[in-house]
Amino acid sequence: MNDSIDRAFEELKGNPALPRHVAIIMDGNGRWARKRHLPRLAGHRAGTESVRAAIRASAKLGLSTLSLYTFSLENWRRPRVEVEGLMRFLREVLHSEYLELRENNIRLRAIGRLGMLPRETRQALDETIDKLSGNTGMVLNLCLSYGGRAEIVDAARSLAGAVRDGNLPLEDVDDKTFRRYLYDPELSDPDLLVRTSGEMRISNFFLWQLAYTEIVVTDTLWPDFREEHLIGAIREYLSRERRFGGLKEGSDDDIG
């Protein structure tokens, strides 16, 4: 890590305006590999260092939560060899990164339709979550077999069942009640969403949670993403004024 990055950490660390929860759509692995005439899985493997850099930087800054869009529901439609390679790669990463996560006091969580994961992958995930459960630092939240619409549908089904069974009065249903039926109701809404590779869309990610999230898009492909890119996104976030639908005095904006 160079001196300028070290200075940036010192400048930002402890700033009360820092985002508590940062979410990242890690996009561009395939394009990174294609530019180098490599198979797509080579791009996913190259992105490991970017994951490591994002986790280290987030923990060093003292963020509460880092959510990584790791594998979407739509990703199951990819060629079988790629999906199997990604599941195998996820198991390898959980094993290889466990010690560093433990040493950095990081807790691990995962959300999504986890029952769709292969047995070996789900077992490795559950074991790693359990072994890190005693930590007290930043939460690393992996979104696996995840889709924002699916999360809302699953929450609606569970809520409807509670109403049907008489455990929840219909008149008590509001947005706070609905939140209790999301995959992880204790997970705060992201303050900042970072998307790599320049694509201007949220790709079915955190549809409920992103209502007032600040979004920063970088052209950097995910395997090239490092600490300085996260610092740049956070600086951009700090330059904005969050109004959550309210009005700044003297503002003519209709939507906050």
79: number of CA atoms within 13 Å, CB side? 6
Q: Which of 69, 98, 75, 99 is closest to 87 using CA atoms?
A: 75
Q: So what's the pLDDT on residue 189?
A: 98
Whether pLDDT at 82 is above 60: yes
Average pLDDT value over all residues in the chain: 95
Domain ranges of the chain: 23-238
The dihedral through the CA atoms of 8, 14, 19, 21 has a sign that is positive
- Rounded-to-integer distance, Cα 107 and Cα 58, Å: 13
Residues 6+ apart with CB under 8 A from 209: 182, 187, 189, 190
Beta strand residue intervals within 79-175, DSSP E: 107-111, 139-146
Quick one: pLDDT band at residue 1, thresholds 50, 70, 90? low
The pLDDT confidence band at residue 72, using thresholds 50, 70 and 90, is very high
pLDDT of 206 reads: 98
Return the active site residues.
Answer: 27, 75
- Residue 228 burial class via C-beta count within 10 angstroms: exposed 0-12, middle 13-18, buried 19 and up: middle
Q: What is the pLDDT of residue 67?
A: 98
**What is the mean pLDDT of the segment spanning 207-224?**
98
- CATH of the structural domain 23-238, one choice from 3.40.1190.20, 3.90.70.10, 3.40.1180.10, 3.40.50.150: 3.40.1180.10
Cα–Cα distance measured from residue 1 to residue 227, given in angstroms and rounded to the nearest whole number? 9
Return the pLDDT at 242. 83
